Amino acid sequence: MTTLSIFDQQDPETPHTVTRDPAEIRRRLSEQGVRFEQWPTQALPQDADQQQILSAYADEVSRLKSECGFQTADVVSLSADHPDKAAFRQKFLDEHTHSEDEVRFFVRGEGLFYLHFDDQVYAVLCQQNDLISVPDGTRHWFDMGPAPEFTCIRLFSNPDGWVARFTGSGIATELPRYEQLAGAAS
């Protein structure tokens, strides 16, 4: 279940707020400039390729491109049997920023976005049908867990795609990881 857990940076082990209410999640994220939506499920075969997925969600993707100026969209998938899953996980676990919004729509599976605002960290467990748009310049990181299972549509303003600037902060190591937070949400 989609879950928002909010931590104080001074007490990074225990969240002071936890909600699974989509309207409350949307409200709290919106206060921080983060877009959160839940799109309707589209019927797709289990082995749907990028073109089938983008076609199924063409109206939603087109709307976001028009509203936000995105230039490209693609699909990324990762499964627990991928031989480089540990390296992929590690790549996203350090706090970083981007010069454009980071937009992900979860077609299937789940992942955990951590968003760092002042002395608060918002951990958003996104699941199937969730869209999150992290504003450019927002300090954040992503944890896909040790056995990732997800397919996401990504939208980019920069045709070159994902470019991260790492902050050098160690805060990502101080908060509970996917294993603790996703397990607690089940």
Q: Is 82 annotated as a binding residue?
A: no
Confidence of residue 158 (pLDDT cuts 50, 70, 90): confident
pLDDT reported for residue 161: 60
| Other beta carbons less than 10 A from residue 58's beta carbon | 12
Q: 16 a known binding residue?
A: no
pLDDT in the model for residue 163: 82
User: If 0-12 CB within 10 Å is exposed, 13-18 middle and 19+ buried, where does residue 92 land?
Assistant: middle
100 is in an annotated binding site: no
Average pLDDT of 80-99? 95
Average pLDDT score, the chain: 94
Structural domains of the chain, with CATH? 3-185 (2.60.120.10)
Res. 159: pLDDT tops 90 = no
pLDDT at residue 154 in the model: 95
pLDDT tens-digit series, residues 163-179: 889 999 999 999 999 99
Cβ atoms 120, 12 nearer than 8 A: no
Q: How confident is the model at residue 36 (pLDDT cuts 50, 70, 90)?
A: very high
pLDDT in tens, 109-149: 999 999 999 999 999 999 999 999 999 999 999 999 999 99
96 a known binding residue? yes
Distant-in-sequence contacts of 170-174, Cβ < 8 A, 24+ apart: 171/9, 171/12, 171/95, 171/116, 171/121, 172/93, 172/94, 172/95, 172/114, 172/141, 174/12, 174/13
